[in-house]
Structure formats: C-alpha cells, structure tokens
Structure 1
Amino acid sequence: MTDQPDHYYINRVLEGEVNAFSFLVEKYQNMVFTIALKLMKEREEAEDVAQEAFIKCFQSLKKFKGQSKFSTWLYRISYNHCLDKLKEKKRYVRSDHIDEVNESQIDAETDAFYALEQKERKEYIEKALKKLSEDDQLLMTLYYYEELSLKEISEITGIKANNIKIKLYRSRNKLLSLLKDSATLFK
C-alpha cells in the first residue's frame, strides 16, 4: 500500500479505512507545510495551520470529485485555510522571510568548496527572493521549487494562468536584476 495512486488511498478512506489517509499526509505534508510557512511566516503557526488543513481535507474528502488532481485540491484547501487564518488575525503578511525549503539538497558526496559555493548562491537567491512581494515569492516557490503547472497554481491561488505567466516573467526579471545588483557588490 505504498506506491499506489492518490485515488486508491482516497477510496480506502471513503470505504472506512481512515488509516489510509496517513499515506496522503506523508506524501503531501512538505508541500502543505511550505505553503503554510510561506504565508504564516512562523514555524509553529505554520505547523498548526498545515495540520488543520489536513483535518479540513479529511473532513471534506467525500466532496472531492476528481475533476482536478488531488494534490491541487489539497493545496487549494491549504492556501485558503492560510488566508482565512491571516484574516482572522487581521494582520498583514510581511515579506521579510522565505522558507528554507530545499536547504539540504547539496549532495553529501560533493567537496567542501562546491558545497560552500552552492550555499552562497542559495543565500543570494533567498535574499533576493525576500525583496520580492509576497505574491511573487509564493508563485516562484510553487512554480520553481514545487514544480507545479500554471493550471495547478491557478487552481490554488485563483489567479488566471495567463496572469500567472506574466507575474512569473516579471518576478524572474526582478529577481535577475536583484541578483545582478548583489553580484556587483561582491566583485
């Protein structure tokens, strides 16, 4: 019961085998947490919101029609739940943080110099990303880090795919400009 498609586990849960939901949680917990952390900004709060999003998903599972991928449906629930929590708190999302997703992707077999160089590049990119708007950060994360399609991002955020394409283009240009500026500072 480990390499089955999502609908297999969904059907098992709907048939009363609630433990099958844990496979879906395990599969998608990193992405749900990434969205929560990106929007909530605080780790503990993001953990709570991510857990609540999975509970909402579980409670609404019988409403899932299969018209989109399960992951897209779950991400939409997570995204909307985060927005609801932010509205409840009546606070604005600050754009001075970025999550540390993919922090440990440097291959353990690479030499120390290469690892240091990669870390420095990542820090430059993260610093530059922090200077982008919250929306730009989220879109860049969903598209580049999580490799979601424009359609999936559209379903999650409610922004039309063509607008996402334009926003991604502009965000890439802003990011490139910021990276060029920081590179000249260190020459």
Structure 2
Amino acid sequence: MVPPMYRQRKNENGETPQNLFVKNHVTLVSKGEDWMTNYMLVATLIATIVFAAAFTLPGGYNQNTGIPFFHNEPSLIIFVISDVVSLISASTSILIFLSILTSCYVDEDFMESLPEKLMFGITTLFLSITTMMVAFSASFFVLYDKKLKWVPVVVTCLAGMPVMLFAKMQFRFLVDVFSFTYRSRYLFKPKELCLTRQLREWK
C-alpha cells in the first residue's frame, strides 16, 4: 500500500513497489496453496459426513412404506434442513477454495479477487460447521425427546463449543482480511492529502 504518487518511484535497488511485491510474493503463493488445501480438506470431510447422514435418518424408516418413523417430529425436519444446508455450504466452500487453488496468482488477484474468495469460503465453511452441529443436536432430540430429555440438552451445549471455537479463531482473521482489502483503498484519499497540505500551509 503506497500513495498513488509513489507508485512509479524506485527504491535503492531500482525496483518499483509493484516489482518488489511480485518478487517477494512467490513464497506467499506456495504457502497459500498449502493453507487452502487444509481448508478444502475440512470442507470435504464435512460434505462427506452430512451426505451420508442424509440417507441415515435418526430412528430409521418403516420397511413397508419407506417413510421415516419420526416424520411428524419437528426435530426431524430441523435435522433434514440443517443437513441439506450443511451439505450445500460445504460443497460451495470446496468449490471456492478450489477456484483459489487454480487461480493464476497474479498480483492483481491479491487486491480483491483472492481475499473476497477467501472470506466467502471461510464464511460458508463456518455455516457448514454450524448447521452440521445443529443437525447433530436435532438427531438427539428425535431419539431422546420422550425419555431422558437432559441428554439432547447436554449434547446441544457441547455441540456449540466447536462452533464458538472456530468463530473465535477465524473472526479476527476475517476482520483483518476485510480491512486490508476494502479499507486500505481509502488510506490515501485525495481529500485527506489536500487537508494535510492545508494544515502544513497554516503551520
């Protein structure tokens, strides 16, 4: 990030800011690929789990009619909806991280394209984890709603822990990415430069 008037300036080695960035971001590309692979692996595991869960509803099916035993239970409806949302979110996250991995990684991509994809990919991954935990908790309400009601309540409280942990670990990172992507473009606004010149003249 440099003021517009300095974009064509050269340092003591004869390099412009853009030349220096292109030279130094080679390591960033390799590290970013490994980083994205880890995110995509998590999203793939979640998609696999919720896809299998969609065909193994809690309580099972009636062998004669093929209708789930608890099809009238609100908890089962919540389970199905949460599972579908989790699958779609995980699949979306996989596609986003895959598009990042297959990117050309030119310097212009680091301005907006890659940070936007990264933020959207992590957001959909968080949504997938959250809805997966909701589906997990709803399955216990289906099975233990009539008896041992304390079991699904305890499970729901425990299921919220990984969601809060993920949110805590990634929130600050998302704020930094958003700040560097969008707020930095207003760092050297012409109005601010004019105001600075006027203050200097008054002094």
- Same fold, judged at TM 0.5 (above): no
TM-score normalised by L of structure 2? 0.29
Larger radius of gyration: 2
TM-score normalised by L of structure 1? 0.31
